[in-house]
Structure 1
Amino acid sequence: MAPIATTVPTDATRPEAGAADAARRRRLFGIALMCGAVAFFAGLDACAKTLARAGVDPLVTTFMRYAASVAMISLFVNPVRTPSVVRSRRLGLQIVRSLLLFASTALNFVALRYLQMAETISIQFAAPLTVALLAGPLLGEWSSRARLLAIGVGFVGVLVIVQPGVGAVHPATLLCVGNVIVYAFYAIITRKLAAYDSTATTMFYTGLAGVALMAPLLPWIWTSPADWHHWVLLLAVALFGTLGHWLLVMAHARAPANVLAPFIYTQLLWSVTLGFLLFGDLPGRWTILGAMIVVGSGLYLLAQDTLRREA
């Protein structure tokens, strides 16, 4: 009688299986961190919208957002602990990048005063499409015809949300479109700086230029919040923004970007939920349809990038 073949784990296979399990757990943890990060970002938008509707200047809210970020980052990344962190090979680009991020946040906060959270975030999801379009002339990363078609479909989704020509377009919608363009240039410069400066240097300069620009103007735009609830919300804006980016960094340290990217779109669910609970807002059918088109186009581009990397 022939012996029954059995597979006995050897010392060689056990470490491989253990490493695979550990990698899978790290990826799942990274996905959880990404979902937590976008939840904090949705909370940040909800606080900013509440403050804007209460009459607090969005520029003040933006200043508080990045002043707290600069303070917290400086605890870990500063010239005292690491003198080389201030040395940038492209200081001009670092300053422009910081100002673009500050402008992007300010545009978003102003738009939130007038538009639904779901509407603003749906339009903002067109930023990766804009990055893919600009990457050709600015970075030499040209898109194929299929990718250009997907980008075009995504922009059609933005038009479905905005609906120009159907009725009066709220001016705040144009702020969202401007935010998409500004953020796309911010992302392009971030990718370009990766070839010249360390991540620590880029983090050090992230909010610095915007805060330095706004600090002298603060006495002219500052209005003391009416009650202590507004102070709490201003602190929450700073806290949610800082914690969101912290979780974002931790997530990317544990999972590849192509694994994490689809879960960025869960922010739409948080935005719809918070918008309904806090402001009684429900997105209209055109906003939902446009968001689905934009998200679908973004996921298609992500899938194409993943296949290209694997090839």
Structure 2
Amino acid sequence: MNAASNLRGALFMMGSMVAFTLNDACVKLLAEDVPLFQIVFLRGLLTTALMVVTVAAFGRLSFRIPKGDRGKVALRTFFEVAAMVAFLTALVNMAIANATAILSALPLLVTLAAALLFREPLGWRRLTAVGVGFTGVLMIVQPGTEGFNVYSLVALVAVLLITGREMTTRAFSPEVPSMTVAVITAASVCVFGGVASLFEPWVALGWREVGLIAIASVFIIGGYVFSVMVMRVGEVGFTAPFRYTALVFALVLGLVLFDELPNTLALSGAAVVMGTGIYTLLRERALRRAAAARATVKGSAHG
């Protein structure tokens, strides 16, 4: 992987985190008055329709998935839906700080899985940066041990399922269209939400709720697309730490939308998270420049 691919991967990761965090904020606002799976279904319905229309307008709507990738796409879809169910189940039964802390272990697990399954380079400095970033996450969410319960294991299952989703995406061949995978994901989540919502009482929606569902649909599209693209460019060990930026975005949205003022420790943790991402980027650039310099010197010597 070259430096440009890694930079694109980092930008895709941050874009995915921004989109998903904004979607989460919309869902949190909606959940005050609307049942969760009604939200999931209606958002998924609008999301799928918008994606199909947009992709078709650009002439890129194709469900021609190579035979060797069909099973992988199905497996990724299963991981996506199962992870959503597991995390939402944990989230509604335990403190959000504890659930977030467990989910934030994902970059470390994804990085290790990529090194084991795909033989991607993982030096001790990069691994240390991921670990330090996780420490920063703990400083932000400040989980209390009394908040952990049996649902902590459910949240851990969500982390494992998301890791499976990311590794499955990584195994796709280049011929698999990213937008096709995103459309399939949106439609699958919509169908599941629709079935699950049958077991909940529905409520009438006002213009506020309709508007929030529409906004959430746009953001979730960005999250789906970027989450597929990030696994297809750049090294996972390089892009994974940028997942921590979701915590920074959540801090800002919490202050603006929910009047949640972070304390000094949380702000310090956000600084650590950003610092590890910046360090990883600078470290990668330094390594590339050093390798280019050595190649130049070697070429001059042979010349």
Distance 2:160 2:270 in 1: 18
CA 173–275 in structure 1, closer or farther in 2 if over 3 Å, else same: farther
Return 5+ residue gaps in structure 1 as ranges.
1-26
Q: 2:220 matched to which residue of 1?
A: 241
In the TM superposition, 1:87-236 aligns within 5 A as 87-105=66-84, 111=91, 126-161=105-140, 163=142, 167-169=145-147, 179-195=158-174, 197-221=176-200, 223-225=202-204, 227-236=206-215
Please say if residues 30 and 212 of structure 2, whose CA atoms lie closer than 8 Å, have aligned partners that are also in contact. yes
1:285 paired residue among 264, 269, 273? 264
1:19-98 equivalences under 5 Å are 39-54=18-33, 56-77=34-55, 85-98=64-77
Rate the CA distance shift 1:271–1:65 in 2: closer, same or farther, 3 A. Answer: same
Report how many residues are paired: 274
Which secondary structure does the structure 2 equivalent of 1:146 belong to?
helix
Listed one character per residue, the Cα deviations across residues 197-223 of structure 1 (whole Å, up to 9, x for unaligned) are 333443343323333444433322352
Q: CA deviation at 1:300?
A: 3.6
Q: Percent identity?
A: 27
> Which letter does structure 1 place at the counterpart of 2:26?
C
Deviations 1:41-60 (A, max 9, x none): 43322111112233x33333
How far off its partner does 1:95 sit? 2.0
CA distance change for structure 1 residues 45 and 229 in 2, over 3 Å: closer, same or farther?
same
| Partner AA of 1:154 in structure 2 | G
Give the Å deviation of 1:238.
Answer: 1.4
CA contact (8 A) 2:133 2:241 kept: no
Q: Deviations over 1:248-294 (max 9, x none)?
A: 59x99xxx869999987665454323312322212233433334334
Q: TM-score, normalised by structure 2?
A: 0.66
1:191 is aligned with what amino acid?
Answer: R
Question: 1:24 aligns to what?
Answer: none
Aligned AA (2:37) = L
Gaps spanning 5+ residues in structure 2: where? 1-6, 292-303
Distance in 1 between the 2:161 and 2:135 partners?
A: 19
Alpha-carbon RMSD: 4.4
Aligned to 2:294: none
| Structure with the greater alpha carbon radius of gyration | 1
SS in 1 for 2:68: coil
